[in-house]
Amino acid sequence: MIAAMEQAQHVQRAFEVVLPRLAAAYHSGKLVPFIGAGMSVPRAVGWQTLVEGLEQRLMNDGAAAAAPQAGSEDLIRRANAAARALRAGAPGAFVEALRAALFSSAQRDIPGQTLALAQLWWPLVLTTNYDNLYEAAFRSNHAKRRVEVYGRGVSDCQRVLSSLSEPSDAVVWALQGYLNAPEPLAPKELAHEVVLGHDEYRRVTHREPHFRRAFAEVYRSRSLLFLGSGLRESYVQELLGEVLEFYGPASRNHFAFLPAGEVDANFLRARFQIEVLEYPRGAHAFVRNWLEQLRAFVEHQARRPIGWVFGVGRDGDRYPSEAQFEVQRSPLPAALADGECIAVSAGGRLGSFHLSETIRSFLRSDVGLGSDPRDWSERGKYLRFDAAKRVWAVRARSDDDQRVLADVQRAATALFDACSREGLRVLRLQLLSSGGEQRPDARTPLHERQNFTNRFAFVQITRAWAAWRREHPHVDLRLVMHLIQPEVYSEIASGRLDVLELLTCEDLRFWVEVRWSEAEIERRLFQLASTQPLRAVLATLNLPAPGWTFRIVPWGDPRYAQALSVSDSLDCTLEELSLVPGATLRFERVGSTG
């Protein structure tokens, strides 16, 4: 027993040495989990049990299975044989058998290690699993945030690569296919991309050079954290080795939590830049504990950016000396200095102002303000003001209480004007129009639907501030944005959300996708003034208007929630279409699918 305790202490000390580096990589947006089969056990079965289940299905169907041997290479051979036999049967037989063999009927809960992983906000997760357990865990921990699942297709790989440098929803990159099981989630499946075993994986990846190049970019630009992953499998090592052979060593190390003796740790460190943290065989609870310790360290102990300040130089100054725009990773303060005010987000139709219970509680208990915004002074259709406490209520909504990006910008501009007229010098503002249900159904009221994510509200407020400062360069007003949403401040910390660009550039940088067919999708980056019409985009693409529809993702205006005819909208400006930096303008040929 003493020896076991000493071993556990030694393992824990090794983890604590690496923990600060993991936290630093996380806060810079570079740490990316790479999850394998061990993260889904026991809800999903292990590799050997899966292979045996497929073989049993073959025997039930009257086919011969491979001789039962249990070695790693023998399991790969048996998996290849079972997959080949099942694929040769009736259409869909292989995926049906995989689904039946993969999940344990005795287990119903999401595994603890997967729940522990999902407690942190991860912009990107790679998985070789077929199940949707991480997606389910993500949704249970981040109910109001979105996650997209991408596969190995050309357009999916392009979107994964874009997410490395551009703000996006959280991404799960399924490397070997994806089944909408065992949890009842939205019907996102990549069953046609499912591969099983060495031969299939090698054959598929060699036919998909776009996938290998995308993986190489992720491997070189991020620190991967391998969890429950079969790093000892030869095809995984071949994929990693190819990256190093073609591109040379990466600038960052990778990490892996693995049972002791499963791999040659020195070989992985020397060959693939993977630092292996070993735990005693069978003691898989270490993985969950380490993930929980990582979350606690990230949230409470690790050094991390807590704010960003942007300013301008006074006339004749060489260095910026006047802070005008600040982002703080904190809630609104209750105590205000002279000349300061705070602004809270409100909802409601034209003429009405509704505050959430959280904001009401903050104003009542922390600020000492018990009145309702309808009793405050009216300052236009977007604003109400309590002069005694210097509190603004901002209804950044359309007249019928819908979330519209253009109204976020208009409401913010109205607020800046009003603060200037009041002689206020510092405006402390929480994110406007940040509520809403991201997965509404037909019964969800329009005002409760979240058609765009919070980072786009931040983009609109920042651009409104930049435009207002250009028109009022000498007004003594400073804006401090208070953010508590990790999907926004983590984008700033990682550099994927370029605040300096938003403050400096008047034009729009956005993506354009042209779907010629289900299999042929073109993706390009545009920079245009918001006053340019839609026809300017088509002219650059040499795309005819007839026979094409378009949509904007995310749609910043309910009028553009559905695909619209290009011919009917040629003279609409990008601003009128509520296109904002970071959004995607998608053109689709009439009659194509997807």
**pLDDT (tens place) for every residue of the chain, 594 residues total:** 566 667 778 888 999 999 999 999 999 899 999 999 999 999 998 878 888 888 888 877 655 555 555 555 677 778 888 888 888 888 888 888 888 899 987 788 999 999 999 999 999 999 999 999 999 999 998 877 789 999 998 889 988 998 888 888 899 999 999 998 898 887 678 988 988 876 777 777 778 888 989 999 999 999 999 999 867 777 777 888 888 888 887 778 999 999 998 888 898 888 889 999 999 988 889 999 999 999 999 988 778 888 999 987 666 566 666 789 999 999 999 999 999 999 999 999 998 999 999 999 999 999 999 888 888 999 999 999 999 999 999 999 999 998 899 999 999 999 999 999 999 999 999 999 886 555 555 555 554 566 788 899 999 999 999 999 999 998 999 999 999 998 899 899 888 899 999 999 999 999 999 988 776 788 899 999 999 999 999 999 999 989 999 999 888 888 888 899 999 999 999 999 989 998 999 999 886 654
pLDDT at 594: 45
Q: Decide yes or no: CATH 3.30.70.380 for domain 307-497.
A: no
pLDDT at 315: 61
Evaluate if pTM is beyond 0.95. no
The rounded Cα 526 to chain-centroid distance in angstroms is 22
pLDDT at 251: 78
Over the range 376-398, which residues count as b (16 or more CB within 10 Å of their CB) and which as e? beebeebbbbbeeebbbbbbbbb
Could you state, in order of their start, the residue ranges of all structural domains in the chain? 2-44+109-301, 47-102, 307-497, 508-589
Q: How many Å apart are CA 14 and CA 199, to the nearest integer?
A: 37
Q: Decide yes or no: CATH 3.30.160.270 for domain 508-589.
A: no
Contact 419, 470 (CB under 8 A): no
Q: In this structure, what token pair is assigned to residue 458?
A: 């931040």
Helix (H, G, I), strand (E, B) or coil at 355: coil
pLDDT at 19: 95
The residues near 473 (Cβ < 8 Å, ≥ 6 apart) are: none
What architecture is the 2-44+109-301 domain classified under in CATH? 3-Layer(aba) Sandwich (3.40)
Q: How many Å apart are CA 260 and CA 245, to the nearest integer?
A: 28
Please report, to the nearest 10 degrees, the dihedral formed by the alpha carbons of residues 528, 530, 535, 536 taken in order: -20
- Burial (0-12, 13-18, 19+ Cβ within 10 Å), 421: exposed
- Within 209-321, where are the H helices? 209-221, 234-247, 265-272, 285-296
What is the chain's alpha carbon radius of gyration, rounded to the nearest angstrom?
A: 27
Q: Output DSSP code: residue 111.
A: P
Q: How many Å apart are CA 432 and CA 409, to the nearest integer?
A: 10
